[in-house]
Amino acid sequence: MAQIDYYFGTISPWAYLAGNRLEEIAARHGATITYRPLDILQLFDRTGGVRPADRHPSRLEYRAQELPRWAAYLGLPLRMDLPLANMAPSSYAIIAAQEAGGDVAGLVQGLLAARFAHGRDIADDAVIREALAAAGFDPALADRGLFVGAETYGRNLERAVAAGVFGSPFYIVTDSDQRFFGQDRLDFLDRYLAAA
């Protein structure tokens, strides 16, 4: 059975656009997923990337065209007018939920949709609690998971750098070290698991 480490930032519109395709692929091939939310901005700093605010205007202009194109292609609503958000609280909640067991995929997708479909602040405690409840988790996980969440969040960044991760979303099949960067590479992940 394949194991997929899924590295992502909860402020990544590209992770939002992945939707539930990773989970569908994993189910089709009997693979398991470990969700590893991390600070994507620090990952850029550590791996030679450039934070969006510091990118050349031509890159920002292209991104502003490409994101809506992908959203339309996938049939997903996408808010583009969002300020930068603190991704740590939502990441801690995901980490706590994964420790507790349950519908982590539903929580991840709920938080990403809260931000990118509905324009909500995913650092807001009420938004996080709503997403936890909607995915079947005790909303109090938002409080109980803070310490472990903070520790794991930092370790996820270190693990990502060591594993060759440089963006979000990033998928690694751990037993073979096959790496797939971007929601537009999910078809390649599917083909790889089918052939493995």
Question: In the chain, how many H helices and how many E strands?
Answer: 10, 4
Helix (H) or strand (E) holding 108: helix 104-116
- Paired sense of beta strands 178-181 and 32-37, if any: unpaired
* Structural tokens at position 110: 């709920």
Select from 35, 163, 169 the least CA-distant residue to 99. 35
Instruction: Examine residue 68 and say whether the peptide bond preceding it is cis (omega within 30 degrees of 0).
Output: no
Question: Is 12 one of the annotated active-site residues of the chain?
Answer: yes
Expressed in percent and rounded to 5, the helix, strand and coil fractions of the chain are: 60, 10, 30
Whole-number Å distance between alpha carbons of 91 and 145: 10
Annotated catalytic residue: which of 12, 90, 91, 168?
12
Tell me the catalytic residues: 12
